[in-house]
Chain A
């Protein structure tokens, strides 16, 4: 199957799943916004008591951007751990490229992320920040999405061999949420900062905030790391998925 057919099929599945998720719901697409928004409001309300955010310009935007990125990452990987099993009916009965199931969950998350970006744009208008930042954010997000896609391919494969991976990920993603500077700031030289140098999400999150909120170019080394981890994640994910996909139909 050609790449355009694969993408077209992935898009059709993502569109159907997106409709299914909103089917019969009065709030519809607002459910996508409620989860990060509620967390956003809670943290904003209690921030003084838990972390110091002094010196962080436009903290609400800093927080919201961090939340939607970490939300995109965590939810997508969680879906990936079960995506092959969830489509076992198709996999056993139709000869189709199995990548479409992973691509489709990534596309579906990108659809819902689009609503979060709209919300961020409204905040930008409220805080009198240039909307051009959204454009630059999308560039950083494109690399972030490739990075997550690679991980999804990897976790989709691993999920077939380790049945409780979804539960493990639920705990791991909570740890990741607290270890990544989603709602607090890390200062260079601190142990948390040094630890975050090994956390790929830190680079994407910092770069996204720099270009979107603060209108500054991220450091070159940071751009380099983003490009490297996106490429590495995609290549390793695709390699692992390709190596094992021949056995998927037997394992589901």
Chain B
């Protein structure tokens, strides 16, 4: 069963948006005859691939090659210009952690806020609350404000909430964008890596984006190499990664 089908996907971004965003600039641009053409950046150029149920594929490429954009297009955060994207099943996109943390709120308040942002009801968060706190190892700081936390503690909190919310949803498709960066101390890094491994190998269809080629090699059966929004090569992890390293 195909969980993800991407066919002839195209996407361009308009550059210079901010430069033209002022009210006066808008008015001037309406009346000005000297309208310079829009500068466009191609971020997906005729991209096509399919991912089967339970398959783990990796995406590699240099910065700006369109890896994160591709995941955002699949998860409908960005809208495609043309082409086809079909997904079958519940999909979750994760890019790092910490988007929802508010440093002036307590850890308890942050868990409820982040949980809500990740689609959990207040009742669901209540049920998961103890597990999250226990996994984070921060049970003594539940009612402390997050700005008093060290960066390692913030990472622990971020990771724990995000992962338990993902586990709760039990998604069929996982799009993971550089989430293995870990953080915290070695003990927590090992613990968190194990949790992500369980998630990745738990039967879901996974697309993994990372600059860590060892990681891609370890988990992915197939790899796509993106360059300037175009697929330069796709195939077995061994073949594509070897070509990517020797470019």
Which positions in A face B, CB cutoff 8 Å?
A: 1, 5, 8-9, 12-13, 16, 19-20, 23-24, 89-96, 160-165, 168, 246-247, 249-251
Closest to A245 in B: B79
Q: How far is the CA of A133 from the CA of B72 in the complex (A)?
A: 51
Interface pair A9/B117, CB less than 8 Å apart: yes
Given A8-B121, A12-B116, A16-B102; A95-B77 close (CB under 8 Å): yes
> Which of B22, B100, B119 touches A5 (beta carbons < 8 Å)?
B119
Cβ of A95 and Cβ of B76 under 8 Å apart? yes
Given A90-B117, A96-B117, 5 more A-B residue pairs with CB atoms under 8 Å apart are A13-B116, A16-B109, A19-B105, A90-B99, A250-B13
The 7 A-B residue pairs whose C-beta atoms are closest, nearest first, are A12-B116, A163-B21, A246-B79, A89-B99, A16-B113, A93-B99, A23-B104
Give A92 to B72 CA distance when docked, in angstroms.
Answer: 8
Q: Say yes or no: A162 contacts B105, CB within 8 Å.
A: no
Q: Of all chain A residues, which has the CB nearest B19? A: A163
List residues of B whose CB falls within 8 A of some A CB: 13-14, 17-18, 21-24, 26, 72, 75-79, 91, 93, 95-96, 99-100, 102, 104-105, 109, 112-113, 116-119, 121-122
Query: Which residues on B sit within 8 Å (CB–CB) of A160?
Result: 21
Give A12 to B17 CA distance when docked, in angstroms: 32
**B27 and chain A: residue at smallest CB distance:** A162
What residues on A are CB-neighbors of B79 within 8 Å? 246-247, 250
A249 to B93: give the CA distance in the assembly, Å: 14
Are B93 and A93 within 8 A (Cβ)?
yes
B119 near A96 with CB under 8 A, answer: yes
Contacting residues, chain A, for B78 (C-beta < 8 A): 249-250
Say how far B29's CB is from chain A's closest CB, in angstroms.
12
Assess the B21–A94 pair: CB atoms within 8 A.
no
Q: Flag if A162 contacts B104 (CB, 8 Å).
A: no
Q: Say whether A168 contacts B23, CB under 8 Å.
A: yes
* Residues of A with C-beta under 8 A to B95: 92-93
Which one of A16, A24, A94, A251 contacts B99 once the chains associate, using CB atoms below 8 Å? A94
CA A92 to CA B13, docked complex, whole Å? 14
Question: How far is the CB of B143 from the nearest CB of chain A, in Å?
Answer: 13
Contact between chains at A164 and B22 (CB < 8 Å): yes
Q: A163-B18, A249-B78, A250-B78 are in contact. Are A94 and B117 (CB under 8 A)?
A: yes
A-B contact pairs, 21 of them (CB 8 A): A8-B122, A9-B116, A9-B119, A12-B117, A12-B122, A16-B105, A20-B102, A89-B99, A90-B117, A94-B77, A94-B117, A95-B93, A162-B21, A162-B22, A162-B23, A163-B21, A163-B22, A164-B22, A164-B24, A246-B79, A249-B78
Residue of A nearest to B96 (CB): A93
B66 to chain A, nearest CB (A): 14
Q: Nearest CB to that of B80 among chain A residues?
A: A246
Q: How far is the CB of A18 from chain B (nearest CB, A)?
A: 11
Complex CA distance for A45 and B21, rounded to whole angstroms: 43
A246 to B104, CA, bound (A): 31
A135 to chain B, nearest CB (A): 29
Chain A neighbourhood of B100, CB < 8 A: 90, 94
What are the residues of chain A within 8 A of B105 when measuring CB–CB? 16, 19-20, 23
Give Cα A46 to B22, complex, Å: 39
- Least CB distance from A173 to B in Å reads 16
Q: For A161, list chain B residues within 8 Å (CB).
A: 21, 26
Quick one: closest A residue to B118, CB to CB?
A: A94
Closest-by-CB residue of A relative to B106 is A19
Least CB separation from A88: chain B residue: B99
Structural contact, A12 and B112, CB atoms closer than 8 A = yes
In the complex, what residues of B have CB within 8 A of residue A162's CB? 21-23, 26
CB neighbours of A9 from chain B (8 A): 116-117, 119
Residue ID in chain A nearest B77 by CB atoms: A249
Task: Out of B14, B72, B91, B113, name the residue touching A12 (CB < 8 Å).
Answer: B113
Q: Known interface pairs A9-B117, A92-B77, A94-B117. Does A164 touch B104 (Cβ–Cβ under 8 Å)?
A: no
Q: Tell me the nearest residue of chain B to A163, going by C-beta.
A: B21
Also in contact, A20 and B104, with CB within 8 A (given A164-B23, A165-B23): yes
Question: What separation, in Å, do the CA atoms of A129 and B213 have in the docked complex?
Answer: 74
Least distance between A233 CB and chain B CB atoms (Å): 22
A8 lies within 8 A of B116 (CB):
yes
Report the bound CA distance from A5 to B123 in whole Å: 12
Count chain B CB atoms within 10 A of each CB in A13, A163, A246 and give the residue with the most. Answer: A163
Nearest-CB distance from B20 to chain A (Å)? 9
Determine which residue in A8, A95, A160, A251 has the highest number of CB atoms from chain B within 10 A of its CB, and name it.
A95
Residues of B within 8 A of A1 (CB): 119
Q: Select one of B17, B26, B113, B121 contacting A251, CB under 8 A.
A: B17
